[in-house]
């Protein structure tokens, strides 16, 4: 039946996961510009310091819960009989968090909403990416991750703008009406998707052929001779030992660690703009908030080109877009360090430079995720049969990957803020350029030029 085959197709699964990420990120950012006003008008906080303190607590709570949630759901994902169950659980948590936000009249209700939102995002990113990787397969993984990156960027772009406009012209509760509409669409899409049956990650446990059975007679009470057709010890690890060995194997894989380290550094740099870009342009050029918003748009819009970098990763391997993007980032951050109070036409120059920063990140971020998956594939191919269970290490790997990315989102604003205070804007951007240079060297030394499907073809030929 065509409808059923389409629901199980790579195209539909990519659509569902991308829309889930878009919905989650948009709703997550929908409330960010509204939080200070909600704390004042609905909770009743009047002191500016209290509003700032609780705004920071609510934002930090989300990041902390996201980190813990990614590890948690990466660990328990394989305990569910299918990916759909936890995927739908994430939708329930997202609905509850949105309802809490819409009805909240205390800081504790807002905190509970933010915690539920962090858990929902952890499920969407961990289970969603796991489902996508299993269904899409090796040949289109980069392109699929490009579409999810584009969905994420779209949510980041539209969320704050939509939230601010709806709050200003329609009111507080009306901010959440689009969220409930998107959640309704999500219910339909997540129920329609059909999960691909997952084979054992390392193939079935090989069995020696049984010898032809013959009637056996025993004399003298002697035990029968062993035919040595059964293994003396079970090769299936205990669940807890298996999970522990999976994390241990992942964290001792140099390529996996390099990919995750690069993602952490780049995500920290990207999130560092949240705490430094507006204060810098306000202090240096007395730039108003509307013009400062244009700088964030310049940074985010090139991320819509992420499917192109995914296609490059599928076609030529992740090495090509990573090594093409990192020099662009190094040069761009070096040029950003030259922006100062004496710069003429600073807005135009910063928009152009930040657009190149966004382009570099669009080229690199998706292929680094593909590189991490390739490292996981290599790890499973080199392991003993069924060493990591029937579903392998994929969910744990993606859980770790999203935990690292969440850590960058949590620590990035702190890193950038403290460094700018200590050494100034120029020192911060030169340090960012140096960090990107380090990632370029690591990628040059460790990232494989082969595509994932080429590696698997080579292994089949051996």
Q: How confident is the model at residue 198 (pLDDT cuts 50, 70, 90)?
A: low
pLDDT at 244 over 70: no
Round the average pLDDT of the chain to a whole number and report it. 79
- Eight-class DSSP state of 389: -
Q: With beta carbons less than 8 A apart as the criterion, state whether 133 and 273 touch.
A: no
Highest mean pLDDT among 11-25, 245-259, 302-316, 370-384: 11-25
What is d(CA 50, CA 46) in angstroms, rounded to the nearest whole number?
Answer: 8
Ordered DSSP codes for 349-376: HHHHHHHHHHHHHHHHHHHHHHHHHHHH
State the Cα–Cα distance between residues 205 and 436, nearest whole angstrom.
44
Over residues 409-426, the mean pLDDT reads 85
Q: What is the reported pLDDT for 414?
A: 80
- For residue 288, name the pLDDT band (cuts at 50, 70, 90): low
User: Which DSSP symbol is given to 79?
Assistant: G
Give dist(CA 232, CA 379) in Å, integer: 26
Query: CA separation (Å) from 273 to 46, 266, 269?
Result: 28, 12, 7
Which whole-number Å values give the CA distances from 115 to 98, 105, 187, 251, 444, in the listed order? 11, 16, 21, 28, 39
Q: Which residues contact 364 (CB under 8 A, 6 or more apart)?
A: 262, 266, 309, 321, 322, 325, 326, 329
* pLDDT at 238 (0 to 100): 47
User: Of 243-247, 326-330, 362-366, which gets the smallest average pLDDT?
Assistant: 243-247
Question: Residue 70: its pLDDT value, please?
Answer: 83
pLDDT exceeds 80 at position 298: yes
Local structure of residue 78 (DSSP, 8 states) = G
Q: Is the pLDDT of residue 353 over 90?
A: yes
Residue 201 reports pLDDT greater than 80: no
d(CA 171, CA 175): 7
E strand or H helix at 48, and its extent? helix 48-76
What is the number of other CB atoms lying within 10 angstroms of the CB of residue 305?
17
Which range among 208-217, 307-316, 321-330, 390-399 has the greatest average pLDDT? 321-330
For residue 206, what pLDDT is reported? 40
Confidence grade of residue 360 (pLDDT, cut at 50, 70, 90):
very high
pLDDT value of position 87: 82
**Residue 370 tokens, joined:** 């593909």
Distance CA 312, CA 451 (A): 10
How far is it, in rounded angstroms, from Cα 361 to Cα 334?
15
């Amino acid at each position: 039946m065509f409808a059923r085959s389409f629901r199980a197709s790579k195209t539909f699964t990519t659509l569902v996961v991308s829309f889930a990420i878009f919905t989650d990120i948009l709703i997550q950012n929908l409330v960010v510009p509204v939080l200070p006003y909600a704390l004042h008008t609905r909770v009743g906080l009047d002191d500016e310091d209290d509003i700032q303190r609780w705004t920071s607590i609510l934002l930090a709570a989300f990041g902390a819960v996201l980190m813990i949630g990614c590890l948690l759901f990466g660990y328990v994902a394989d305990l569910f009989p299918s990916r759909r169950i936890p995927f739908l659980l994430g939708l329930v948590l997202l609905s509850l968090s949105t309802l809490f936000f819409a009805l909240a009249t205390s800081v504790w209700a807002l905190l509970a909403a933010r915690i539920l939102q962090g858990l929902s995002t952890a499920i969407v990113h961990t289970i969603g990416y796991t489902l996508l990787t299993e269904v899409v397969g090796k040949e289109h993984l980069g392109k699929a991750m490009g579409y999810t990156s584009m969905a994420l960027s779209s949510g980041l772009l539209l969320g704050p703008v939509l939230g601010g406009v709806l709050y200003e012209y329609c009111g507080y509760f009306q901010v959440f009406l689009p969220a409930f509409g998107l959640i309704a669409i999500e219910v339909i899409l997540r129920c329609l998707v059909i999960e691909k049956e997952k084979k054992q990650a390392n193939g079935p446990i090989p069995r020696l052929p049984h010898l032809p059975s013959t009637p056996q007679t025993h004399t003298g009470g002697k035990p029968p001779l062993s035919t040595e057709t059964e293994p003396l010890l079970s090769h299936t690890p205990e669940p807890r030992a298996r999970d522990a060995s999976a994390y241990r194997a992942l964290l001792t894989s140099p390529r996996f660690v390099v990919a995750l380290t690069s993602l952490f550094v780049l995500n920290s740099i990207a999130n560092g703009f949240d705490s430094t870009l507006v204060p810098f342009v306000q202090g240096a050029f007395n730039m108003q908030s509307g013009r400062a918003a244009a700088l964030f748009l310049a940074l985010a819009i090139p991320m819509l080109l992420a499917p192109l970098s995914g296609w490059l990763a599928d076609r030529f391997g992740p090495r090509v877009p990573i090594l093409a993007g990192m020099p662009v980032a190094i040069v761009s951050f070096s040029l950003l360090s030259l922006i100062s109070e004496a710069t003429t036409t600073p807005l135009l120059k910063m928009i152009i430079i930040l657009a190149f920063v966004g382009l570099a990140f669009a080229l690199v971020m998706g292929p680094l995720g593909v590189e991490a998956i390739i490292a996981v594939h290599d790890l499973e191919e080199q392991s003993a049969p069924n060493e990591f269970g029937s579903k392998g290490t994929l969910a744990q790997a993606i859980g770790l990957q999203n935990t690292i990315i969440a850590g960058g989102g949590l620590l990035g604003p702190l890193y950038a803020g403290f460094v700018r205070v200590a050494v100034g804007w120029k020192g911060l951007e030169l340090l960012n350029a140096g960090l990107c240079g380090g990632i370029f060297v690591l990628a040059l030394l460790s990232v494989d030029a082969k595509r994932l499907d080429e590696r698997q073809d080579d292994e089949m030929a051996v």
